[in-house]
Structure 1
Amino acid sequence: MFHVGKLEDLEIGEAIKLDQFNPPIAVIRGESGEVYAIDDTCTHAQASFCDGFVEGDTVECPLHMSVFCLKTGVPDNPPAIKAVNVYDVEIKDGEIYIEVDR
C-alpha cells in the first residue's frame, strides 16, 4: 500500500496528483466524501484529471468534457471511449492509502 497523506488534508472536490507513478495517479475526494484513485491522464487528450471538475462520483476532463466514473474509470460520453485504471483506496486511522502494483 502506498501512503498518500491525511484524509483531513484532502478537501471534497479536490485532487492530489502522484507524479511518481507512470502514468501519474489522481487521488480525488468526491462530493460524498469518498476517496478514489484513478490514472490521472484522460485517454482522449492527455489532460490531467487534477485540473478537471468533480461532480458526484465523476470527474470531467478539463479539455473536451468527457466524464469518467471515479468508481470504474469508464467514460460516460465521447470524445473519450477508453477507460482509465482505478486503484483500491483504504482509509486507516485518518490516513489515505492506495493499492498499486508498480
Structure 2
Amino acid sequence: MANEPGKPDFSNVKSGVESTAPPAPAKPDFSNVSSGVESTAPATSAPTVQTYTVVGGDSLSKIAKKFYGNANKWREIFEANRDRISNPDMIQIGQVLKIPVEKTSSKEPTDHE
C-alpha cells in the first residue's frame, strides 16, 4: 500500500518492548524470618490502689466486704489510709479512701460505687 502524501511512514517500525531503565533488583529473601512479638515499652501492671468515696452507713468492714468479699479485711483499707483516718470507727461521709487492689481477688469493682 502506497503512502499517502502528507502522512508519516511507519513501515519500518518494529514491535516489542525495550527499556532504558536499569534492571529490577532481585526480590528479597525472607525465608529465614521468624514471627514473634517484642516490645521496648515498659510492662504496664494493674493499678495497685483504687479509690472509694464514703457514703452514709459505710464502715470499713462494709467497704471491705464490697471490695474484697470479706469484711475482716477492713484493716487493709485502714492501713492504706492512715494519713486520712486516725480512728477506724470514725470515717466521714464524702471522705475519699484508697482501696488497695487485692492481687488474688476476683471481685474488683471498676469504679467506686
TM-score range, shorter chain: under 0.3
Q: Whose radius of gyration is greater, 1 or 2?
A: 2
The structure richer in helix per residue is: 2
Task: Give the TM-score, by structure 1 length.
Answer: 0.23
The structure richer in strand per residue is: 1
